[in-house]
Structure 1
Amino acid sequence: MGAVTLKPHMQVGRFELLSFLGKGGMGEVWRARDPRLGREVAVKVLPPRVVRDEERVGRFEREARALAACNHPNIAQIYEVGEWRLADMAGTGEDAAEPLRFLVMELVDGGSLAARLAEGPLPPREAVPLLLQVASALQAAHASGVIHRDLKPANILLAADGTAKVVDFGLARFFRRREEAGDSDITQAVSTAGIVVGTASYMAPEQVRGEECDEKCDVWAFGCCLGEVLTGHRLFDGASVPEIVGKVLAGLPDLSDLPATTPRPVRRLLQRCLIAERGARPTMAEVVATLAGEEPGATRRRRWAAAALAAGVLALALAVTLVVRRPAEIRRAPPFAGDLRVAVVADDDRGRGGRSALADRLRDRLLAVATQTKGVQAVLEGQEDVSVHVRAAGAGDGERVHITLEDRRRGAIVAALDENLGEGDGAASVETVAQHVAAALQLEGIRRQLEAEDALHGFLVRRTASLPAARAFRDGLQYYTRTRMARAGELLEEARQADPRFWPALVYLAQVAGSQARFREGRELLAACRSLVRDPQGAELAVLEVAESLLSEDLQRLLEALERARRWFPDSGELMYRTAWAYRSVDRPEKAIPLLEELIRSGWQPDWSPTWEQLAMNQLLSGRTAAARATAAEGEARFPERFSYPFVAACAWQMEGNGEAAREALARAIRKRLDFSTSDQLVSYQTIQWWASLVRWDEEVVRQRRAVLAEAERRLANAPADPSLLLARGEALQGLGRAAEAAAVLESFRGDSAGEPYRLLALAKSRAATGDRAGAAAALKEAGELWRSRQAPALGRLAYNIGCAWCAMGEAEEALGWFLRARDQYGLDRLDLALDPELDLLRKKGLLAGLARR
């Protein structure tokens, strides 16, 4: 049988071929005309020479079924499937027994995404809307039970109006159908090397291995396309298929050219799409939600709240959108990078005699103010994030101006203003209104900035309509997340003063108080917060529960509150970090590690060291000492002034039995702590003393106890009755073997609710060292009663220290009882169990094994 040559004006069925469009492994694609409906279509023809090739025919039929199953504006629509006998084609001279199979589809005028990328990458503002169309198409296909399996830029067509169309479902299949033997995409019999290489660059690891594909294969391929659109090159590329496959299996995408302006949610989405473990990838519905800036299935309910734009200025009524939703209804903000883009529009009001000169004048002034406002960029209409609409009505002394700030992407009114400008020529009033619109724009810019950084912060800042409050809150959060609590407290108090009803400022002020052991003040602040939010629901309730749990001793309650809050704000880096911290605190470091690794992968707070520090510590606590040392080494290289990394390395070396390496690493930690830490000097000496005890460096322990004693005595010269300094002096004397002096000091005062239990513990050790075991036991029992009264803070840690004191007296059973209480409170620290020398009594008796887990 000779080959069939398709030509322009040839008839295939009732369709007249017009021009050749392209050729691939599945045959030729032609532009054609449908005379019956008078429209142009695309006709894909499967040549007769492959009619007996079951695999090729199967792919052809799968594409037809897949397209028929999907009905979506971003999927090329199928119109018809047909066969045409060659004998019906005049003048071909071919065997009439061989049919010509063809598909008739929607014609997409325009090139492919691959052709567009040959010109360079797309900026994020163009890439995100385009890829959202592709994601929506795949979501619809998955909802219809169809997996594409061959998504790549060449299979995404761009119509002249910018609409994306996903095409070429030749490798598609339906869910829950097992692969036929040998149907491994990587080994498809395709003669064109470029097609094989191109396909391999977008294949998921499981697809490369020949495993069964599900919809997560499309998610991987989508991530490859998203990355390629943003970087301008394939993420997995190479000179040969084996080289590409090796990079895919090793999980080595080339993201070096990812633009710095890529919004964090998009950057994180890209990384999630390319996770090797398919179960950890997002669904296509989650992809669509992230790119569209909303949760799957979101519905929008709004209530309006009127608020003054800023305290102490003219009484201008600004309607501010406050959103209250259930978990599925919290809407993520559209990606925001850089300045707030604003268009100023003077609307026609023909029903009132046309647009007034005042409206034009005010528009011009607003435009000028927008160009001069920090964080705001004036743009042409159609390119804005927020549009300012100006309309004036009336005349003379009765002229009024109406201004709305509108966010059409969210369907929200950011602010609304209605003012009488009839006095005189209105010059002063025009300037006043312009300045207040500028303030409203700055406020919206701050809101979007915080939304882009953390969804939780974006939600909270929208609880105020005061620009000074929002600005101080934003700046306070920056210090708070970096544990600069003193400055954070000052700024958060400024936010509270600027808007006394701005309850999120009180939430963080309470956390600042708690971090400084001012627990009563923290509880009072939260009580005031509750009085401002009378009937909290949804996200507000979740936030308040986390805040209250952070000040409690119930860490399990805190974990549950954090997990509820994360359902509202799944992308919140702060909540993810807090959850990791809580898991570490309840002795579940294995649960903390993936959260911290995700934070690092997502680029959350990349210049913030504690994320790396927590990862290294949790790896250490889970017994992964080599991984902990590797993370500590990388962290120390990134943050050379931080002492936590060499400390973790020292503990890891000690656990591995290398005492010399442990002391060498600890020496670096000590130097960094003393050189760079802003902590109180006395606290630093006490901390270093504990470090040295963990690695059994006795000489350093003595050196630090002497430093504690000298510093405490120096300060007592100016404050002789300070209980915290007296306690430090007594503990140092006791540790240096001067028990009688220590007992005298410790019996001379009483501490506050936080310090008194620890005075009693030090006193017990001193009495025991002087042979007064009865007095020592009495002091320990008194400390136990304080624990039972629950008046002291940090009850779990107190129970642990009471156990250590009983160990020092040689009372293993009493000590074990208190360690069990500490464990049941929130779990024992595995670092203590592994290294603390005060537990040696229980180690020798083999009593530690049952303490590691609650």
Structure 2
Amino acid sequence: MTEPYAVPVPRGYRVGVWEVRDPLATGAFGSVYAARRTTDGTPRTAALKFLPTGTGTPRQLAHLRELVEREVELYRRLKRPRLIRMYETVVVDDPGHPELDGATVLVLEKAEGSLHGVRPAEPGPLLAQICEGLAQLHQAGWVHGDLKPANVLLMKDGSARLADFNMAAELEGTHAYTPAFSTPDYTPPELLWAEIGERGRRIRPSADVWAFGVLAHLLLTDSFPLPGGTPTARRDAAAAYARGTDELRLSPELPDAWREIVRECLARTHAERIGTRALLRRVEAVAGTGRSPRLRRRRPRRTTSVLVAAVALAAVGLGVWAGRGDSGDAKDTAAAYGAAELRTDRGVPVAYRRLIVDSAHDCRQPEVSPALLAAMLKAESDFDPDLSDPAKNEYGIARWTPSVLRWWIRADGAPATATPAPPLTPSQSIPAVSRYLCFIEPRLKNSLPGDRRVLLAASYRTSYKKVNAAGGVPPNQRAYAARVAHWLKEYTPPGEQ
């Protein structure tokens, strides 16, 4: 070993069916070793990450256990193509080796190495894969919190996987809470001196976007985007940039196609940074890798009655696909958009597919799915964007009452300054349905019987308070709920019922 390992493990040491071979990497809180299986079965090789949760002072143990629990929880709940896989966890029971006794061992997919100290000949495809991994994390409601080259692993086939999730945290609304540890060169300015509360430091997905911008600049130019010969000097430069007393000076070696992407990642404030989905779309276009496949959302708790939706990693406005005279390939792509979660052979208008799918994905509640939105639009208006019912004061494809739509029309959650006037366009109406359903879902009682999605639709027609009070779909909404249930079944792909 060329450096002290946080957890020294002798070669040949046995952990379950695994035998430790060569050391691979170490950090402040754990060490990773190559291992081989000693019994028949697959995989034959793995990487064992030793996390010392069995020794130390009570304060150290509490901290280390928190880090272990974060990482194990993410691995257990998220199975994504761009995240390194965990096969199992083992707790060492070996009083004869007190330095290892009680340690938690993560048995992980073995990589060939990491990006640390590596400058790939063609970094574009790797950057697209890294960004795809971030999109998978963020869509699932997690923040990585420590994206850097050492935490990007390279597989045997040359592809990239994100790893090392002991700083990762699940979002609670717009923020997550992580320990006050991070690598300064990849930490956004607003977190360098952020207040540390009882639950840790508040962090947003935009922190990962900043880290991606730094990493991209490093891979493309072999230099950091902020000046300074040491991490401390670069940290001070980041603070000056955030205050507006210094400008961002990107390397002249940075290719023009990447320059604006890196700038948008390294915006001074979190609010100015590009969103993860838009970033993925831009990176894939510049890297020439094509769009990543749609990925499945995390499975909800109510597995018997909830549709598991897929993850949309790229959002393009309706106008890109409708009324622009695109090529046949573009039309075919639009017709198949979101096919894994919204059937293509049941009459959902092609012009609205992308808007329906992307609007559903703007809500992290898995019940708010593309199939549900499509079923509601069918039941409300038969997809008629010009619907006008002055007697009920309802207009457009989703039958919005303008005074109600005012509260849900804006993406930032604030009410519009003025009540929208008919005609109400699909681009106004459909995303607002998703926002309203996303608001309703946690307010419905968990004890209500029936399909949660149909209860959401009934709440849209009346209110969640009335649905809660009725103990389910109110009698005067049962016909409407039956229509939604019918079309929901029609629009849900086989195997997802």
Query: What is the TM-score of this pair, normalised by structure 1?
Result: 0.31
Is 1:283 aligned to 2:275, yes or no? yes
Matched, 1:296 2:296: no
Matched, 1:49 2:77: no
Structure 2 residue 41 is the aligned partner of structure 1 residue 37: yes
The amino acid across from 1:286 in the alignment is A
- Cα 1:93–1:113, aligned 2, differ >3 Å: closer, same or farther? closer
Counterpart among 132, 143, 147 of residue 139 in structure 2 = 143
Say if 1:28 and 1:45, in contact at 8 Å, map to a contact too: yes
Name the counterpart of 1:247.
237
Contact 2:55–2:98 (Cα < 8 Å) also in 1: no
Q: How many residue pairs are counted as aligned between the two chains?
A: 289
Give me the whole-angstrom Cα distance separating, in 2, the residues matched to 1:231 and 1:69. 36
Q: 1-side partners of 2:222 and 2:231: how far apart? A: 20
Q: Which amino acid aligns with 1:279?
A: A
Partners of 2:23 and 2:32 within 8 A in 1? yes
The residue aligned with 2:253 is 259
The 5 Å alignment of 1:672-683 reads none
Alignment of 1:154 onto 2:146 = no
Other-structure match for 2:228: 238
Q: Tell me by how many angstroms 1:210 deviates.
A: 1.9
Q: CA deviation at 1:237?
A: 5.3
1:12 aligns with 2:42: no
- The Cα shift of 1:10 comes to 0.7
Verify the 8 A CA contact 1:235 1:254 in the aligned structure 2.
Answer: yes
Matches of 1:179 and 1:286 in 2, distance apart?
21
Structure 1 segments unaligned to the other structure (5+ residues): 187-198, 306-319, 332-563, 568-854
- For 1:269, the equivalent position in structure 2 comes to 261
Compared with structure 1, are the counterparts of its residues 221 and 260 closer, same or farther at alpha carbon in structure 2 (3 Å cutoff)?
closer
- Corresponding residue for residue 30 of structure 2: 27
Cα distance, 1:151 vs structure 2: 0.4
Partner in structure 2 of residue 224 of structure 1: 214
* 2-structure distance, mates of 1:270, 1:143: 21
Query: Of residues 112, 115, 139 in structure 1, which corresponds to 2:114?
Result: 112
Evaluate the alpha carbon distance shift between residue 78 and residue 51 of structure 1 in structure 2; reply closer, same or farther with a 3 A threshold.
farther
- Residue 70 of structure 1 and its aligned partner are, at CA, apart by 2.4
**Separation in structure 2 between the aligned mates of residue 20 and residue 233 of structure 1, nearest angstrom:** 28
Structure 2 match to 1:73? 81
2:123 equivalent to 1:127 = yes
Instruction: Give the equivalent residue in structure 1 for 2:170.
Output: 174
Cα pair 1:302 1:323 within 8 Å, conserved = no
> Would you say the 8 A contact 2:82–2:130 is kept in 1?
yes
Deviating more after overlay: 239-248 vs 269-278: 239-248
1:257 Cα deviation from its structure 2 partner: 2.7
- Aligned CA distance change for structure 1 residues 69 and 210 (closer, same or farther; 3 Å): farther
Structure 1's 50 and 141: CA in aligned 2 closer, same or farther, altered over 3 A?
farther
* Structure 1 residues 578-610: Cα deviation after superposition (integer angstroms, max 9, x where no partner): xxxxxxxxxxxxxxxxxxxxxxxxxxxxxxxxx
Per-residue CA deviations over 1:132-156 (Å, capped at 9, x if unaligned) read 1000001001111111110011111
Closer, same or farther: CA 202–237 of 1 in aligned 2, 3 Å: farther
C-alpha change, 1:149 and 1:5, in structure 2 (3 Å) is: closer
SS at match of 2:117: helix
Secondary structure of the equivalent of 1:218? helix
Residue equivalent to 1:758: none
User: Are residues 1:99 and 2:107 paired?
Assistant: no
Gaps of 5+ in 2: 1-5, 196-201, 286-290, 292-312, 338-424, 429-497
Q: Is the 8 A contact 1:63 1:170 kept in 2?
A: yes
| Contact 2:7–2:51 (8 Å) recurs in 1 | no
Letter paired with 2:156: A
- Amino acid aligned to 2:251: D
Contact 2:143 2:176 survives alignment (8 Å): no
CA distance in 2: counterparts of 1:103 and 1:137, whole angstroms: 20
How far 1:185 moved relative to its partner? 2.6
Q: 1:32: how far off?
A: 1.0
State how far apart, in whole Å, the 2-side matches of 1:14 and 1:253 are.
55
CA distance in 2: counterparts of 1:162 and 1:31, whole angstroms: 18
Change (3 A) 1:83 1:150: same
Are 1:64 and 2:64 counterparts? no
Task: Measure the CA separation in 1 of the matches of 2:83 and 2:55.
Answer: 29
Structure with greater Cα Rg: 1
Contact 2:176 2:204 (C-alpha < 8 Å) held by counterparts: no
State the Cα distance separating 1:250 from its structure 2 match. 2.1
User: How has the CA–CA distance of structure 1 residues 94 and 185 changed in structure 2, closer, same or farther, with 3 Å as cutoff?
Assistant: closer
Q: Which residue identity does 2:117 align to in structure 1? A: A
Q: Secondary structure at the match of 2:118?
A: helix
Letter aligned with residue 105 of structure 1: L
Residue 433 of structure 2 aligns with which residue? Answer: none
Could you tell me which amino acid in structure 1 is paired with residue 48 of structure 2? V
AA in 2 matched with 1:296 = A
Once residues 32 and 15 of structure 1 are traced to their aligned partners in structure 2, the CA distance between those partners, rounded to angstroms, is 6
**CA distances 1:384-422 after superposition (whole Å, capped 9, x unpaired):** xxxxxxxxxxxxxxxxxxxxxxxxxxxxxxxxxxxxxxx
Cα–Cα, structure 1 residues 36 and 234, in superposed 2: closer, same or farther, change >3 Å? farther
Shift of 1:5: 4.3
2:47–2:108 contact (8 Å) kept in structure 1 = yes
Which residue matches 2:370? none
Whole-angstrom distance in 2 between the partners of 1:36 and 1:249: 55
Matches of 1:179 and 1:148 in 2, distance apart? 10
Contact 2:90 2:106 in 1 (8 A): yes
Report how far residue 260 of structure 1 moved: 6.1
Q: For residue 41 of structure 2, what is the amino acid of its counterpart?
A: L
Q: Tell me the SS of whatever aligns to 2:55.
A: helix
Contact 1:204–1:217 (8 Å) recurs in 2 = yes
Instruction: Using the TM superposition, give the Cα deviation of residue 51 of structure 1 relative to its aligned residue in structure 2, in angstroms.
Output: 7.3
Q: 1:667 maps to which residue?
A: none
Q: Which protein has greater RCO, CA pairs closer than 8 Å, 6+ apart?
A: 2
Task: Report if the CA contact (8 A) 1:146-1:172 is conserved.
Answer: yes
Whether the 8 Å contact between 2:226 and 2:250 is mirrored in structure 1 is no
Q: Give the secondary-structure state (helix, strand or coil) at the position aligned to 1:7.
A: coil
Q: Over aligned residues, Cα RMSD in angstroms?
A: 3.7
Distance 2:73 2:49 in 1: 14
* Match runs of 1:740-819 below 5 Å: none
Instruction: State the AA in 2 paired with 1:69.
Output: R
AA at the equivalent of 1:100: A
- 1:156 and 1:253 map into 2 onto residues whose CA distance is 29
Alpha-carbon spacing, 1:70–1:262, altered in 2? closer, same or farther (3 Å)? farther
Question: Structure 1 residue 274: deviation in Å?
Answer: 0.4
Structure 1 residue 297 displacement after superposition = 4.6
Identity value in percent: 25
1:583 aligns with: none
**Counterpart code for 2:131:** A
The separation in 1 between residues aligned to 2:328 and 2:204, in whole angstroms, is 40
